[in-house]
């Protein structure tokens, strides 16, 4: 900038600084942050406040809003489907943690220099490129008890076909398996890039010290992959909590709401049952759960940085 | 959260997209006619309308039939099209109550619809005003594989006992008697409707739909008891909750199942080689002292209150009401024209359906069209759960009753 030279103290004289120059330290970040902050306030914070406000009303989305205080929450905590949804969300969260582990295993397997490995890697990555709606449809056909491959294979080995998507005990697991397929590919890619950035000197040093096999992986490779693990776990947790699309496509929460998750139950109540207030109450609960997780996560991250 | 919000936004965005590029002289029609027959019927209707009104440019947006039921709310509260397809009865009333549909009594008067549409007028009238024009209605009944019946020496059952005997014979011979796909719930409501009107009659059924009767009432329990007879004997296909109503057709077409309680919109789906082997009989009589009532859902077109081009929209309503157009589209839809002057297709199902509905002592629209939309959703989830887990009946009925008290309380 042109004033930069003027701002330099020449010949040991104090130079008079303009208002902008005196306050540059806090103004520059403020100015640069302003657009993002503005957008954040309007499009993130504002809807959160609005939806909390809606959760205190009874509203069908068309007519007038009626303030009913905490009645929606009272009803929610007495609603068996709400607990089914929370339980399913927890199952999602736990089983989704298989994705980083499986992703790491596949990444280690694919991280070798063989002819055509690039092609193989891209094939493994393929599920992540497919739209989740297509993944859902393909798995729904796969699970079809009369015409799907799964049923045929089970019958082939003398077992009975399982109607995965219409059996309340299997359905959530069936959907999670479908969701894991692209999620594993995603974490695999994260680990593959991580493996590319390993420091060969550290590995060499480890080798001299006699590390190989599991001890090499556990003590030398994994610590270096920590950034990748970190990202993989974060995207997986978020992926599990926001699970919605596959539930909507594969079962619509059914049979009789046994595969619903909080996000889908919110959608169902607001859009199909026209209870915006009740839906907003569910959204608020989901928001609190995510908030707790994110706070915990930030707290750990800050602690490690210090 | 944000991903989710954007999914919802996307859904509504898609719904609005059609209405965005509107100019004067354009008539925007948002229709739910996504199955092949209805799609063709509407496309041809629009072509004829454009030929008759060269100055009007029609933009026809066809939506998935299931998805339309939710997206319609988005475009009724944002960019409104000039015409929407919808359903008579409580479904229409929900929107009229919120002042979202145009009063089109003038179209009725100017075109003499009061006489030609006398039979369906009440389903479109609220407080003496008409809010839409019907374009088709159809009968429900049991569609069955006549060739399988003939092979096993079965004849059409007229009473519940005969019906149970037919089921038993089919089952003994390795044919699942009844196919159904309850993934999208409403097919199960067909069974509730018919069992209820055959056991308790139409007035009681409409009372249930209007939320005046507890779901734990003994008369409602009687309906489920009859239903349970079928479930306990395993007369429905297994895993029906996995299938949509279209997917469930396959069992009947492959000969694994023999009967299907469904509406006449089923007919266009028959495979060519089976077209002559499938026939139709009315739902059997359960209590001879109860008059015969039928489900006859009416499909309609309406003008949203905020439509841009109401003038051409009124022309379109008058056009779709004409006897020749009613005949033409209903031929392709495989349904009956509500206009009494329109000739009925010579198809045997239409002839039988017309006779059936004409001789019925009264008709209902359908459970999810007669009752409050939210009650319908919760009720039909209960029907589906009951069909899979009949032993949970008490818990289900209590849940429905709790919902009824909240919704109508």
Pairwise CB contact (< 8 Å): A255 & B378: no
- C-alpha count within 13 angstroms, C-beta hemisphere, residue B256: 11
pLDDT for the residue B6? 46
Say if residue A50 is in the same domain as residue A125.
no
Asked if residue B179 lies in contact with residue B238, where contact means CB atoms within 8 angstroms, the answer is no
Say if residue B254 is in the same domain as residue B403.
yes
Classify residue B341 by burial, with Cβ atoms within 10 Å: 0-12, 13-18, 19+: middle
Distance (Å) from the C-alpha of residue A102 to the closest C-alpha of chain B? 25
Asked if residue A39 lies in contact with residue A47, where contact means CB atoms within 8 angstroms, the answer is no
Nearest to residue B183, comparing CAs of B259, B266, B260, B240? Answer: B240
- DSSP letter for each residue of B81-124: -SEEEEESTHHHHHHHHTT-B---HHHHHHTTHHHHTTTTGGGG
Interchain CB contact of B5 with A (< 8 Å): yes
Interchain CB contact of A267 with B (< 8 Å): yes
Say if residue B243 is in the same domain as residue B326.
no
At residue B18 the predicted structure's pLDDT band, cuts being 50, 70 and 90, is very low
Interchain CB contact of B381 with A (< 8 Å): yes
Note which residues in 201-220 of chain A have CB less than 8 A from chain B.
none
Interchain CB contact of A65 with B (< 8 Å): no
Residue B19 clears pLDDT 80, i.e. is over it: no
Residue pLDDT, tens place only, B104-157: 999 988 888 888 887 788 888 888 899 999 999 889 999 999 999 999 999 999
Residue A296 clears pLDDT 90, i.e. is over it: no
Residue pLDDT, tens place only, B291-314: 899 888 899 999 998 888 888 999
Residue pLDDT, tens place only, A18-69: 887 888 888 888 899 999 999 999 999 999 999 999 999 988 877 788 888 8
Q: CA nearest B256 in A: which residue?
A: A146
Strand B257-263 and strand B176-178: the pairing is parallel
Say if residue B130 is in the same domain as residue B159.
no
Say if residue A24 is in the same domain as residue A44.
yes
Say if residue B131 is in the same domain as residue B168.
no
Whether omega for the bond prior to residue B397 falls within 30 degrees of 0, making it cis, is no
Q: Is residue A41 part of a domain?
A: yes
Residue B4 clears pLDDT 70, i.e. is over it: no
Say if residue B187 is in the same domain as residue B316.
no
Candidate from B2, B98, B388 with C-beta closest to A62: B98
What is the share, in percent, of chain A residues with pLDDT greater than 70?
Answer: 95
Pairwise CB contact (< 8 Å): B373 & A273: yes
Note which residues in 67-96 of chain A have CB less than 8 A from chain B.
75
Q: Give me the numbers of helices (H) and strands (E) for chain A, helices first please.
A: 18, 2
Nearest to residue B251, comparing CAs of B172, B145, B386, B149? Answer: B145
Q: Is residue B214 part of a domain?
A: yes
Pairwise CB contact (< 8 Å): B239 & A163: yes
Say if residue B289 is in the same domain as residue B321.
no
pLDDT for the residue A11? 54
pLDDT for the residue B10? 46
Say if residue B267 is in the same domain as residue B146.
yes
Q: Is residue B2 part of a domain?
A: no
What distance in Å separates the CA atoms of residue B145 and residue B279, rounded to the nearest whole number?
A: 6
Cβ atoms within 10 A of the Cβ of A24, count? 14
Average pLDDT across chain B, whole number: 87
Which residues on chain B are in Cβ contact (under 8 Å) with A168? 388
Q: Is residue A268 part of a domain?
A: yes
Interchain CB contact of A144 with B (< 8 Å): yes
Candidate from A165, A263, A274 with C-beta closest to B373: A274
Residue pLDDT, tens place only, A256-267: 888 999 999 999
Helical axes B373-388 vs B90-97, angle rounded to 10°: 150
Residue A9 clears pLDDT 80, i.e. is over it: no
Q: Is residue B359 part of a domain?
A: no
Which candidate in B3, B100, B241 is best for mutational testing of the A interface (most A CBs within 10 A)? B241
What distance in Å separates the CA atoms of residue A145 and residue B262, rounded to the nearest whole number?
A: 23
Both tokens of B212, joined, read: 């005046």
The domain spanning residue B61 has which CATH number? 3.40.190.10
Cβ atoms within 10 A of the Cβ of B247, count? 16
Candidate from A242, A252, A256 with C-beta closest to B4: A242
Say if residue B172 is in the same domain as residue B283.
yes
Interchain CB contact of A20 with B (< 8 Å): no
Cα A290 → chain centroid? 11
Mean pLDDT value of segment B372-386: 89
Phi and psi angles of residue A64, each rounded to the nearest 5 degrees, phi first: -75, 150
How many domains does the structure of chain B reveal?
2
Say if residue A252 is in the same domain as residue A124.
yes
Average pLDDT across chain A, whole number: 85
Q: Which residues of B84-123 are buried (b: 16+ CB within 10 A; e: fewer)?
A: bbbbbbbbbbbbbebebbbbbbebbeebebeebbebbbeb
Collapsed DSSP state (helix, strand, coil) of residue B60 = strand
Q: A85 is in which domain, residue-wise?
A: 79-305
Which candidate in B69, B242, B244, B386 is best for mutational testing of the A interface (most A CBs within 10 A)? B242
At residue B204 the predicted structure's pLDDT band, cuts being 50, 70 and 90, is very high
Q: CA nearest A274 in B: which residue?
A: B374
Q: B14 is in which domain, residue-wise?
A: 10-137+299-340
Q: What is the torsion angle, in degrees rounded to the nearest 10, for the CA atoms of residue B336, residue B339, residue B341 and residue B342?
A: -40
What distance in Å separates the CA atoms of residue B42 and residue B51, rounded to the nearest whole number?
A: 14
Say if residue A238 is in the same domain as residue A136.
yes
pLDDT for the residue A290? 84
Both tokens of A270, joined, read: 């607001």
Distance (Å) from the C-alpha of residue A293 to the closest C-alpha of chain B? 14
Residue pLDDT, tens place only, A203-213: 888 888 887 78
Say if residue B39 is in the same domain as residue B111.
yes
Q: CA nearest B11 in A: which residue?
A: A271
For residue A238, CA distances in Å to A51, B61, B94 come to 20, 36, 38
Q: Which of A71, A98, A132 is the last residue of a domain?
A: A71
Which candidate in B3, B4, B98, B396 is best for mutational testing of the A interface (most A CBs within 10 A)? B4
């Amino acid at each position: 900038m042109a004033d930069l030279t003027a701002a330099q103290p020449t010949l040991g004289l104090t130079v008079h600084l303009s208002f902008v120059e005196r306050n540059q330290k806090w103004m520059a970040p403020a100015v640069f942050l302003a657009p993002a902050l503005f957008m954040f306030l309007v499009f993130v914070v504002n809807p959160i406040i609005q939806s909390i406000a809606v959760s205190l009303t009874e509203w069908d989305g068309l007519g007038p809003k009626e303030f009913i205080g905490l009645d929606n929450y009272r009803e929610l905590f007495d609603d068996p489907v709400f607990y089914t949804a929370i339980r399913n969300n927890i199952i999602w969260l736990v089983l989704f943690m298989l994705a980083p582990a499986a992703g790491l295993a596949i990444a280690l397997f694919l991280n070798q220099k063989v002819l055509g490995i690039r092609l193989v890697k891209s094939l493994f990555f393929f599920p992540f490129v497919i739209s989740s709606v297509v993944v859902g449809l393909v798995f729904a056909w796969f699970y079809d008890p009369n015409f799907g491959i799964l049923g045929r294979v089970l019958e082939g080995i003398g077992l009975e076909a399982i109607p995965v998507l219409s059996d309340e005990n299997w359905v959530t697991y069936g959907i999670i398996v479908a969701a894991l397929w692209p999620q594993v590919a995603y974490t695999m890619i994260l680990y593959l890039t991580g493996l590319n950035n390993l420091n060969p000197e550290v590995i060499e040093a480890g080798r001299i010290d006699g590390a190989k096999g599991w001890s090499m992986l556990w003590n030398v490779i994994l610590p270096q992959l920590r950034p990748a693990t970190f990202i993989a776990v974060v995207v997986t947790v978020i992926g599990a909590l926001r699970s919605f699309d596959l539930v909507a496509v594969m079962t619509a929460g059914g049979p009789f709401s046994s595969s619903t998750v909080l996000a889908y139950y919110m959608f169902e109540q607001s859009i199909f049952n026209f209870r915006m207030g009740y839906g907003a109450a569910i959204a608020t609960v989901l928001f609190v759960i995510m908030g707790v997780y994110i706070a915990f996560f930030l707290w750990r991250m800050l602690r490690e940085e210090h | 959260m944000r991903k989710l919000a954007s999914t919802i936004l996307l859904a509504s965005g898609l719904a609005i997209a059609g209405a965005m590029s509107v100019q004067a002289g354009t008539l925007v029609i948002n229709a739910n006619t996504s199955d092949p027959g209805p799609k063709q019927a509407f496309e041809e209707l629009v072509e004829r309308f454009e030929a008759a009104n060269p100055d009007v440019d029609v933009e026809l947006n066809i939506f998935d039939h299931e998805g339309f039921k939710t997206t319609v709310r988005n475009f009724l509260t944002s960019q409104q099209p000039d015409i929407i397809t919808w359903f008579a009865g409580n479904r229409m009333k929900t929107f009229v109550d919120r002042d979202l549909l145009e009063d089109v009594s003038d179209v009725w008067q100017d075109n003499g619809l009061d006489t030609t549409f006398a039979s369906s007028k009440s389903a479109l009238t609220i407080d003496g005003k008409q809010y839409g024009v019907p374009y088709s209605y159809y009968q429900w009944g049991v569609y069955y594989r006549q060739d399988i019946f003939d092979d096993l020496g079965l004849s059409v059952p007229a009473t519940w006992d005969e019906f149970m005997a037919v089921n038993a014979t089919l089952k003994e011979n390795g044919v699942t008697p009844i196919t159904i796909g309850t993934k999208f719930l409403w097919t199960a409501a067909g069974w509730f409707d018919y069992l209820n009107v055959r056991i308790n009659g139409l007035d009681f059924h409409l009372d249930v739909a209007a939320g005046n009767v507890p779901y734990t009432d003994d008369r409602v329990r009687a309906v489920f008891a009859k239903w349970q007879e079928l479930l306990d004997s395993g007369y429905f296909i297994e895993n029906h909750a996995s299938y949509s109503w279209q997917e469930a057709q396959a069992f009947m077409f492959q000969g694994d199942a023999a009967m299907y309680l469904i509406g006449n919109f089923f007919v266009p789906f028959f495979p060519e080689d089976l077209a002559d082997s499938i026939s139709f009989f009315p739902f059997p009589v359960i209590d001879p002292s109860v008059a015969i009532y039928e489900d006859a859902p009416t499909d309609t077109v309406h003008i949203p209150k905020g439509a841009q081009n109401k003038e051409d929209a009124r022309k379109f309503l008058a056009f779709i009401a004409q006897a020749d157009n009613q005949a033409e589209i209903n031929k392709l839809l495989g349904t009956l024209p509500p206009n009494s002057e329109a000739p009925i297709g010579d198809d045997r199902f239409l002839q039988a359906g017309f006779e059936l509905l004409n001789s019925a002592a009264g008709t209902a629209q359908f459970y999810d069209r007669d009752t409050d939309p939210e009650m319908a959703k919760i009720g039909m989830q209960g029907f589906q759960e009951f069909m899979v887990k009949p032993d949970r009946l008490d818990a289900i009925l209590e849940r429905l009753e709790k919902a009824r008290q909240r919704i109508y309380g």
